[in-house]
Structure 1
Amino acid sequence: MAVAAKRIMIVDDSRTMRMQLREELEEGGYEVIEATNGLEAICRAASGAPLDLITLDIEMPKMGGFETCKKLRSPPYSKFICCDGGRQVPIIFITGNDNIEDRRKGFRLGAVDFILKPFNEGEILSAVNKILEEQGADAEIVALVADDSRVARKIAVGCLSREGIRVLEAEDGAKAYEIIADRKEQVDIVLSDVIMPIMDGKALCRKIREELSMVDIPVIFLTAITDLSELTELFRVGATDYLVKPFAKEELLARVLVHVERNRIQKQLRDTIEQLKEANETIRQLSMIDPLTCCYNRGYLNEQINKEIKRSLRYGSPLSAIICDIDHFKKVNDTFGHQCGDEVLIEFVKIIQNAVRKDLDWVARYGGEEFVIVLPETSPGNARILAKRLQSEIEQNPIRCLDKSISITASFGVAGFDGAALGEEVSPDRLLSMADANLYTAKQEGRNRVVG
């Protein structure tokens, strides 16, 4: 069964503006009805099917946006614009004259957002989507209300819980801090009085920011303080926002939803950035790996060996390299096929990697069947010992492929520098050229041997 489109009423005396809003919202899948002024809006709200959201222009003939909002929020009209469960239909004010007093007045009347004309393409649809999505998501929000006044807590809890927000209570800052620090409850927003016994609101906010390192959780102060210097001090200790008592319940709810949504978006952004970092690191790693043998590739060798030489020069430690080559590898491919040839290369690298130090030595594919083993902090003499051990192990352990036993041998060219002999003449080209020359000699002398 198809789900009915959500209904939005556009109230604006400008035909052009109504048409612009209608096109954008209908493209977003909403059903749109129009009213040219506040009186018409009230009549349509009372006589038509239930609404899901209303956009209101502020300046209109006959009845302006503020007066219309006030009427719609009051009996007997409010019953006509209630969502499921008795929730009030969200109202967005759209205005060409944005100022603090209008925003304060609008929030007190029950608005959930203000959008300034002229708006960018997609801005209205984005705001509507966000608000209507929140209608089904508020139950996931957990708010902590800290106030030593039971009556004040009851008012705040009532405003929030009626909107499906789960509320935790604390009678002072110390109790509130314990709830947050315990982390058994995932608190999404903190609403705190300023003056409380044991621990006041400013101390609570400071400890949340500094001791718990919770720099993003919104902290809204509910206070009777009106002195500008005192209010400024709240932001110095880490406040996100404040509301002066007495406040309109609609304004409280609007502030809570705005800050929770902002925090959610920031968290999503951080998570996205972390995912991008991980993806970039994965891409970087893949760009350095030979896809067949899973050892490093030639690009990594060219970049990293220079770093190894610089480190050896800095600390005066020895450095060696071995270039090894599978003897008569073309014969393996010709006799057993390329699939077995690939398997031989894979197993050959595994033998090498199992023989070297895991966190220090590394292996890179130099060419088709040639591989370089880089051995930091290893003298040429010890590198020869390793090469001899590898030569023997490879010769004595045939590789299985497709139920066939394939015997191979390998030749090794060893080169390196003792710590005392390190100097300006050391370079990647020289180290690899020496190892390659020794490998060539090993092949000239009959293969399956170590030279260097």
Structure 2
Amino acid sequence: MRRLQQNVEAPPKPPTVERDLISQKLAEFRRQLGDRRAQVDLTDPLTKGYNRAAFDFALHSYLDIDDTTNQHLALMLFDIAGMKDNNSRLGVDGGDPLVAAFAGALALTFLRADDFVARYSGDKFAVLVFMAQPADGQVLLARLTDRLDALAREHPLGVRLGCHSCVVIREPAESAENLLRRARAVLVTAKRNRKG
């Protein structure tokens, strides 16, 4: 059974719950996202969820919100493990349902209105989530592992979906570019450690 490769980085930040403020700001973000959707396609055609363009817009909006709260903003990256083998075994078209199933598992794991899930590229996904404590990321990763295990039991060919993952907590006033760069580096390290 494949398990998630878990890496967490978290600078200290006072854990004050400010859900109302976050909810208000996210309501404005969702309105703006709806306006933007009228101008640009923000939907991934395979997963029917958000795509990279939506993620890029969301990342900057979430950073603006994070600057006004005491919550921890986490960027979580996921890279589906074994897609090359699955595509070889099932055919390229056989891999598409696995990507869609993984997106579904993410959507069922990150249920709160302020959780933002997007297909980042190919077999990679990004999630933005506010947490009261950095350790909350481990709870969410454990829930995702349970969902992926359930998918393996339900798949007609017993295909197991695992992934490389990372949880990176934004540092105070950190830019979107630096947060993304750090998360990518942690994900690359997680993949390298799992292979070696």
Matches within 5 A, 1:110-129: none
Quick one: which amino acid aligns to residue 337 of structure 1?
Answer: G
Residues 413 and 440, structure 1, Cα contact 8 Å, conserved in 2: no
Q: Shift of residue 345 of structure 1? A: 0.6
Q: Deviations over 1:98-128 (max 9, x none)?
A: xxxxxxxxxxxxxxxxxxxxxxxxxxxxxxx
Q: Shift of residue 294 of structure 1? A: 1.3
Task: Measure, in 1, the Cα distance between the counterparts of 2:40 and 2:102.
Answer: 21
Match for 1:305 among 55, 59, 71? 59
What is residue 163 of structure 2 aligned with on the other side?
410
Identity %: 23
What is residue 319 of structure 1 aligned with on the other side?
73
Is residue 336 of structure 1 aligned with residue 90 of structure 2?
yes
What is residue 432 of structure 1 aligned with on the other side?
180
Matches within 5 A, 1:358-377: 358-377=112-131
Task: Measure, in 2, the Cα distance between the counterparts of 1:399 and 1:344.
Answer: 13
Task: Measure, in 2, the Cα distance between the counterparts of 1:375 and 1:385.
Answer: 13
Q: Deviations over 1:116-157 (max 9, x none)?
A: xxxxxxxxxxxxxxxxxxxxxxxxxxxxxxxxxxxxxxxxxx
Q: CA RMSD in A?
A: 2.4
Q: How many residues align?
A: 162
Task: Measure, in 2, the Cα distance between the counterparts of 1:381 and 1:297.
Answer: 27
Residues 394 and 410, structure 1, Cα contact 8 Å, conserved in 2: no
What is residue 124 of structure 1 aligned with on the other side?
none
For structure 2, the 5+ residue unaligned runs are 1-33
Task: Measure, in 1, the Cα distance between the counterparts of 2:36 and 2:71.
Answer: 31
**CA spacing shift, 1:341–1:378, aligned 2, 3 Å:** farther
Q: Shift of residue 304 of structure 1? A: 1.3
What is residue 28 of structure 2 aligned with on the other side?
none
Task: Measure, in 2, the Cα distance between the counterparts of 1:390 and 1:285.
Answer: 33
TM-score between both structures, scaled by the size of structure 2: 0.73
Residues 42 and 53, structure 2, Cα contact 8 Å, conserved in 1: yes
Structure with more contact order per residue of length (Cα contacts < 8 Å, sep ≥ 6): 2
For structure 1, the 5+ residue unaligned runs are 1-279, 448-452
Q: Deviations over 1:371-420 (max 9, x none)?
A: 0011024543211321233134314531766x433222111111013xxx
Q: Deviations over 1:59-109 (max 9, x none)?
A: xxxxxxxxxxxxxxxxxxxxxxxxxxxxxxxxxxxxxxxxxxxxxxxxxxx
**CA spacing shift, 1:399–1:437, aligned 2, 3 Å:** farther
Quick one: which amino acid aligns to residue 303 of structure 1?
Answer: F
What is residue 384 of structure 1 aligned with on the other side?
138
* Range 296-305 or range 432-441, more displaced: 432-441
**CA spacing shift, 1:285–1:390, aligned 2, 3 Å:** farther
Residues 321 and 383, structure 1, Cα contact 8 Å, conserved in 2: no
What is residue 394 of structure 1 aligned with on the other side?
148
> For 1:397, what is the secondary structure of its paired residue?
helix
Match for 2:106 among 329, 352, 370? 352
What is residue 257 of structure 1 aligned with on the other side?
none
Task: Measure, in 2, the Cα distance between the counterparts of 1:367 and 1:396.
Answer: 24
**CA spacing shift, 1:320–1:285, aligned 2, 3 Å:** farther
Q: Shift of residue 438 of structure 1? A: 1.7
Task: Measure, in 1, the Cα distance between the counterparts of 2:158 and 2:36.
Answer: 36
**CA spacing shift, 1:347–1:378, aligned 2, 3 Å:** farther
What is residue 251 of structure 1 aligned with on the other side?
none
**CA spacing shift, 1:340–1:407, aligned 2, 3 Å:** same
Residues 395 and 408, structure 1, Cα contact 8 Å, conserved in 2: yes
Matches within 5 A, 1:46-61: none
Task: Measure, in 1, the Cα distance between the counterparts of 2:128 and 2:72.
Answer: 11
What is residue 232 of structure 1 aligned with on the other side?
none
Task: Measure, in 1, the Cα distance between the counterparts of 2:61 and 2:132.
Answer: 15
Task: Measure, in 2, the Cα distance between the counterparts of 1:342 and 1:443.
Answer: 22
Residues 103 and 119, structure 2, Cα contact 8 Å, conserved in 1: no
**CA spacing shift, 1:358–1:284, aligned 2, 3 Å:** farther
Higher Rg of the two aligned structures? 1
Q: Deviations over 1:280-308 (max 9, x none)?
A: 96952871111110121111111111110
**CA spacing shift, 1:378–1:435, aligned 2, 3 Å:** farther
Task: Measure, in 2, the Cα distance between the counterparts of 1:346 and 1:327.
Answer: 14
Matches within 5 A, 1:38-437: 284=38, 287-398=41-152, 403-417=156-170, 422=172, 424=173, 426-437=174-185
